[in-house]
Amino acid sequence: MPDKPGLTTHLNLNVRGLPISATLGINERSNQLIREGKRIYKLGLGQSPFPVPEVVVNGLRINAFRRTTCRFSDCRIARRRRCAITRTQGLNFAAEDVMIGPGSKELMFILQLVYYGELVIPTPSWVSYAPQAHIIGRQIKWLDTDAKSHWKVTPENLAKLCASDPDRPRLIILNYPSNPHGYTYSSAELEAIAAVARKYRMLVLADEIYGEVHFLGEHTSIAQYYPEGTIVSSGLSKWCGAGGWRLGTFAFPAQLQWLKNAMATAASETYTSTSAPIQYAAVKAFQGGAEIEEYLFQSRRVLSHLAHTLVARLNQAGFDIAPTHGGFYLFLDFAAFGPALGAAGINNSIDLCERLLTDTGVALLPGVAFGRPSSELTVRIAFVDFDGARALEAAGRLSPTEPPAR
């Protein structure tokens, strides 16, 4: 009797051949090399080095152990206190305007799923926006930026893109302080971008997950200037040391309730809700208080000091990079070293990262993972591979009046 044919692969074309997310991929690879005995500097994945604040951990402890039952309806607990979630942006959202998800990454995916329009993303942008669109089958328009303007979207280039097809429904993702480059927008820049978005009725997803780690604590949201068309995205991962807790938030203006309702339907058919104990703990985090303020103050000081020291050293080494404003990253262009690198057989950002990893043990991500042209020699450094608990302790011993390094 002939053998029955084995199971064959039947994959959705949109995911066929897609690799694992670049950030998680470089982390796994680094860990594997470490297990093989290599010395690796893990500057690939960007996760908070700081421990979750004690008051938030206690919120989790109490709610995990005291509540012996946990029904689905309990999972809406953070909703009742949602107003607290947006405290830092200085924006007033009503409790029912905020949606909670298992990480803002999942909320972004659901947003792309339910919204029917073109996705506009600046290049460079975080590694997962484009693959999410690809998985869902949405069209992507990359919006080019350059090192001279600190990789920022300008109102001129945004207007040019919109004017090419003015009636097309569009969603732009603006992430600031930015992953991968660490720069943010001034109020004037946000206002000018908001004017273009309003003119072309473009939706803005303001990914403000690094807002709380603006080095000077001076984050401003584009929602101040374009409230009716902006969704503000945030979460616990970056400022609260709780990446693995998976809690993200989207805040919607009244005009975008239709979008929130569609997302809530998709959520109800997929993840249902975020783990209830995590939501209770998140309420503690978002309510803030003296302990959280101190934690944020010291976190910003440490990150700011590191970023500024790195920028100074890199400039001494021949780069030309301006001080950054917040977050965990620097985005470097090795163009000035192009001829020497070319002579060594390194002609693009992937070659560059491969050689750096094999020759020096330094794990970085190539610019191409952030949507930059493949021929470019750009890389992202995530400078958060350090003992955050020790760093916070050391910063706490310094005079509290000493300002963070500019």
Q: Which is nearer to ligand GLU, 185 or 328 (CB)?
A: 328
CB of 301 to ligand GLU, least distance (A): 22
CB of 175 to ligand GLU, least distance (A): 10
Q: Which of 42, 82, 105, 170 binds ligand GLU (CB under 6 A)?
A: 105
Kindly identify the residues of this chain, within the stretch 40-69, that bind ligand GLU according to CB under 6 A.
45-47
Helix (H, G, I), strand (E, B) or coil at 318: coil
**Residue 36 contacts by C-beta under 8 Å, 6 or more apart in sequence?**
none
177: preceding bond cis by omega (within 30 degrees)? yes
Determine the size of the site formed for ligand GLU (CB under 6 A).
10
Q: Which is nearer to ligand GLU, 25 or 323 (CB)?
A: 25
Kindly identify the residues of this chain, within the stretch 370-389, that bind ligand GLU according to CB under 6 A.
382
**CA end-to-end span of the chain:** 77
Question: Are 55 and 292 within 8 A, CB to CB?
Answer: yes
Kindly identify the residues of this chain, within the stretch 111-150, that bind ligand GLU according to CB under 6 A.
126, 128
Tokens of 223: 């929602």
Q: Which is nearer to ligand GLU, 190 or 384 (CB)?
A: 384
CB of 22 to ligand GLU, least distance (A): 8
For residue 316, what are the CA distances in angstroms to 221, 311, 406?
Answer: 34, 9, 17
Which of 210, 203, 179 has the alpha carbon at shortest distance from 252? 203
CB of 202 to ligand GLU, least distance (A): 24
Kindly identify the residues of this chain, within the stretch 168-197, that bind ligand GLU according to CB under 6 A.
179
**Residue 10 contacts by C-beta under 8 Å, 6 or more apart in sequence?**
none
User: Cα–Cα distance between 194 and 191 in angstroms, integer?
Assistant: 5
Identify the burial level of 123 via C-beta atoms within 10 angstroms of its C-beta, where 0-12 means exposed, 13-18 middle and 19 or more buried. Answer: middle
Question: Are 30 and 42 within 8 A, CB to CB?
Answer: yes
Q: Which is nearer to ligand GLU, 118 or 385 (CB)?
A: 385
363 contributes a contact to ligand GLU by CB under 6 A: no
CB of 124 to ligand GLU, least distance (A): 11
Identify the burial level of 337 via C-beta atoms within 10 angstroms of its C-beta, where 0-12 means exposed, 13-18 middle and 19 or more buried. Answer: middle
CB of 239 to ligand GLU, least distance (A): 13
CB of 103 to ligand GLU, least distance (A): 8
> What is the x/- site pattern for ligand GLU, positions 8-37, by CB under 6 A?
-------------x-x--------------
Q: Which is nearer to ligand GLU, 23 or 273 (CB)?
A: 23
Residue nearest to ligand GLU (CB): 46
CB of 329 to ligand GLU, least distance (A): 8
Identify the burial level of 62 via C-beta atoms within 10 angstroms of its C-beta, where 0-12 means exposed, 13-18 middle and 19 or more buried. Answer: middle
Q: Which is nearer to ligand GLU, 77 or 100 (CB)?
A: 100
Nearest-5° angle of CA 301, CA 52, CA 68? 160
**Which residues sit at the interface with ligand GLU, rule CB under 6 A?**
21, 23, 45-47, 105, 126, 128, 179, 382
